Amino acid sequence: MSAITADLISSHQLTHDEYERICRILGREPNLTELGIFSVMWSEHCSYKSSKRHLKKLPTESKHVLQGPGENAGIIDIGQGWAIAFKIESHNHPSFIEPFQGAATGVGGILRDIFTMGARPIAVMDALRFGPLEDPKAGARNRRIVEGVVSGIAHYGNCFGVPTVGGECVFDPSYNGNPLVNVFALGLFRHDEIFYGRASGVGNPVIYVGAKTGRDGIHGASMASAEFTEESKQKRPNVQVGDPFMEKLLLEACLEAMRTGAIVGIQDMGAAGLTCSTCEMGSRAGTGIEIDLMHVPQRETGMTPYEIMLSESQERMLLVAENGREEEVFAVFRKWGLDAVEIGHVTGDGILRVKDHGKVVAEIPNRPLADEAPLYDRPYTTPYRPAPMEGPSFVTAGIQEDLKMLLASGDLCSKRWIWEQYDYMVRTNTLQGPGADAAIVRIKDTGISIAMSLDGNGRYCMLSPREGTKLIVAECCRNLSVAGALPVAATNNLNFGNPERPEIMAQLVESIEGMAEACRFFETPITGGNVSLYNETLGEPIHPSPVVGIVGLMHTGEPAGIAFRNADRAVLLVGGIGDCDAVRFGGTQYASVVVGKVWGLPPALDMDFEKRVQAAAREMVSAGMAESAHDIGQGGLAVALAECCFGLGVGAEITLDSELRPEYLLFHEGPSRVVISTNNEEAIVEVAKRHNVPVVRIGTTWEKTLSISNRGVRLATMEVEALRESWENALPAKLSVS
C-alpha cells in the first residue's frame, strides 16, 4: 500500500486530479519528497495556475523593454547604455503571522530578485494595507501588525543600505484579518551586466552560495496559497527569518563574482527555496540539474531531504558556473566570508535529480514541474461587491469640519511616523522621497533620473474592478507626470481573495482586463509582477487590491514638488473643476470617512483626456513653468490644496465658481486634474491650450491661511499650521491608543 494517503495529499494542498497527474508524469507514485516538491511548485504562489490564462492579456513589449515577464525582474533601457531592473512582490500571509520578519524578508526577497539580474538595488517602495487602528475588536492586533511591519521594512532596508523612497499606506476593515505587504525594488546596471536565471551548459557546476539552510519557511509558498483559518494563522515556522547584513555581503559577492565572467546563470532561492531555483533554471535552459543534498550547507542537524528542498531560508542563491572556473567563484565568496559549495552539475536530460549521500530521493522532469503546472480556467460570474448602488442622504457638520476629519483619517493623514523610520537618503541619490506624488532618484553622471510611483485603491476596485484598476493606472502615470517624468513601464501586484469562488475570480479577471486596457493606452507595458490570491480569513475576502508600480524617465533637475513655495502666485487647476453626481461620489474618501458608507461607482475616467492632461502637466513642470504641481487624488480638491499648503506653510485664497453641491465640488475624486502654482500664468495657459486641456485660475497663494469660497459664499477658513498639526499627529495618536 502506498505511503501517500488522501489526507497527506490534501495537507499538501493538492487535489486528487493533480495527484493523478503527478503519477502520470512520473509513471509511478511519488515519494514524500517528490510530493512536497510538486506541492510547492504547483501552489498558486509559484504556478499562477488560476491567473496565468488572464495575465497573457497584459501588454508586455515596447521600445524600452529589454526583458518582460518570465525572469526574476523586468528590465528596461533608460539610455546611454544603462538599464534598470524592477519588480513588486507580496509577503502578505507571513506579515500577518509574524509582522516583523514577514515584512523584513519581503524586502530581502525582492532585493534578491533585483541583484540576481546583475543590478545594484538603488530604491525600495512599499504598498501597505491594514485594518483600522481604532477598530473596536481588531484594533489592538492591527496596531501590533502595523508597528511590526514598519519596523521590519525599516530594519531590513536600513541595514542593507538601500533607500526606502516612498509608497502608500491604507486602512480598511477588509484587511482586518489579512494585511497586505507589497514591496517594490529597483536596481541599476549596464546593458553588458545583465544576468539570467538559466542553467546552461551540460557539465557546468551548480554552486550554492550564501546562508546555511534551516527549517524556517518550509511550505511558505503553499501557506501563501491558501485562506487563513484559525489553525493556519498560527504557522510561525512557515515564516522565514532574515539577516540584512548577510544579504549585503551576498549582494557584493554576487556582483563581484558576475564580473569575473565565470558565472553563466544565477537565481535567488525565494519561494520554494532550493526546489524553485533548481527546476526553474533547468526548465528555462532546457536542461536538467543533478544535486546531492549532502553538500548543502545546513545550520540544523538531522534535516531530511524534504526539509532541505522546501526550506525558504533567506539570503541564499544558486549559481551555474563555467566548468573549470569554479575556483574563481569560490575565491570571491571566501573573500566576503560566505559559503560557496558545489552541490551538483547541469545535465542534458531535462530532469531534476536530487540525491542524498548518493541515493536518489527525487527524480522529476523539469518542464512539467516548473513551466507546465496545471492551468485552470476557473469559472467567474459577476464580481463580488458588498456595497449598494444607491447611497444615503447625508447632512454634514460643514465643509471646514469635514476637511479636518478627512485630513485626520487613516488613509489621508501624514505617514511621517512610517517613513521617518526609513533611511530614504542613503546613497545620496534621492531627489524626491516619501510624501511626494512620485519618488525620484538620480543616476549620477548621466543627466537621467528615474521617477517611480505605487498606487492602488481597493475601494474603487470593490465597486468596479475594471474601472477601478484603470483609475489606478491613470493616477500612477499622473503622479509621474506632475514630477516631470514620462511613464514608460509598469509592474503589478494582484491581491485578491479565493479564486475558487466565481464572484472573486470575476474580480480578478475584470481587474486584469482593465489594467491591460489602461497600460496599453498609457504605453506602460507590464514587465513582471506578482499574484497573491487566497487573501481571505474565515471566509471574509479583502477588497480586490491590485497595486501598480510605474517607472518614468526624466532629465535630472530640481523637482517642482507639491508645496506652494511663495505668496502671490496664481493657483491654477489644469483639467478643470470636473463633474460629479451622487453615484460617482459614493467611492470617495468623503463617503467612507464622513458619511460612513460606500456606494455607487468610482469616478469616471476619460483616458484620452487624462493622457492630454498628463502631457500638459509634464511639459509645464519640465519647462520650469510651475513652482509646484500636485495631482488631485483621494480626498479631492480640498485635500489636495491643504497638502500643497503643508510643505512650507504657504496658504491660499481659493475662489471657485461652480453649481456643484459644496461637498461634491471640494471632495469628489474625479481624475485628470492637477493643481499648479506659478508666476507664469500665461505660459501655463498656452501649454494647456496646445494640449486642448482646460485650465482655470482658482485663486492666489498667500500667507498662513487656507480660505475657500464658492460664488461669494465662504466655505472654510483655516490656519495652515493648525490644520497641518492635526494631519501630521493623527497616525501617532491612533497608534498610541491603549
Phi then psi for 14, rounded to 5 degrees? -110, 140
Residue 683 exposure: Cα atoms within 13 Å on the Cβ side: 15
Tell the residue number behind the cell numbers 469628489, with chain if given. 668
Question: What is the rounded radius of gyration, in angstroms, for the C-alpha atoms of the chain?
Answer: 26
- Residue 582, SS3? helix
Q: What type of residue is 25?
A: I
Cβ atoms of 127 and 185 within 8 Å: the answer is no
Phi then psi for 127, rounded to 5 degrees? -115, 115
Q: How far out from the chain centre does Cα 187 lie? A: 15
Question: Helix, strand, coil % (nearest 5) of the chain?
Answer: 35, 25, 35
Cα separation, 293 vs 21, whole angstroms = 27
Phi then psi for 276, rounded to 5 degrees? -65, -45
Bridge partners of 71, per DSSP, are 69
Query: Most distant CA pair in the chain: distance in Å?
Result: 87
Cβ atoms of 87 and 166 within 8 Å: the answer is no
Is 45 an active-site residue?
Answer: yes
Cα separation, 485 vs 477, whole angstroms = 9
Cα separation, 181 vs 194, whole angstroms = 28
Which secondary structure element, helix H or strand E, spans residue 191, and what is its range?
none
Tell the residue number behind the cell numbers 498609457, with chain if given. 522
> CA torsion 99→100→102→106, rounded to 10°?
130
Tell the residue number behind the cell numbers 504598498, with chain if given. 127
Q: Which of 12, 45, 93, 668 is catalytic?
A: 45
Task: Tell whether the torsion through CA atoms of 471, 473, 475 and 477 is positive or negative.
Answer: negative
Cα separation, 316 vs 22, whole angstroms = 28
244-259 and 326-335 helices, crossing angle to 10°: 140
Residue 612 exposure: Cα atoms within 13 Å on the Cβ side: 16
- Number of residues that this document lists for the chain: 738
Cβ atoms of 40 and 219 within 8 Å: the answer is yes
Q: Which of 64, 91, 219, 543 is catalytic?
A: 91
Cβ atoms of 553 and 450 within 8 Å: the answer is yes
Q: Which residues contact 456 (CB under 8 A, 6 or more apart)?
A: 127, 129, 168, 170, 472, 545, 546, 547, 548
Is 54 an active-site residue?
Answer: no
Burial of residue 349 (CB within 10 Å: 0-12, 13-18, 19+) is middle
Bridge partners of 356, per DSSP, are 359
- Residue 487, SS3? strand
User: How, if at all, do strands 120-130 and 82-90 pair?
Assistant: unpaired
Among 611, 323, 311, 616, which residue's Cα sits nearest to residue 473? 611
Spell out the alpha helix ranges (H) of 412-501: 416-419, 458-463, 465-481
**Residue 315, Ramachandran bin (φ over 0: left; ψ between -120 and 50: alpha; else beta):** left
Which sequence positions are flagged as catalytic? Answer: 45, 91
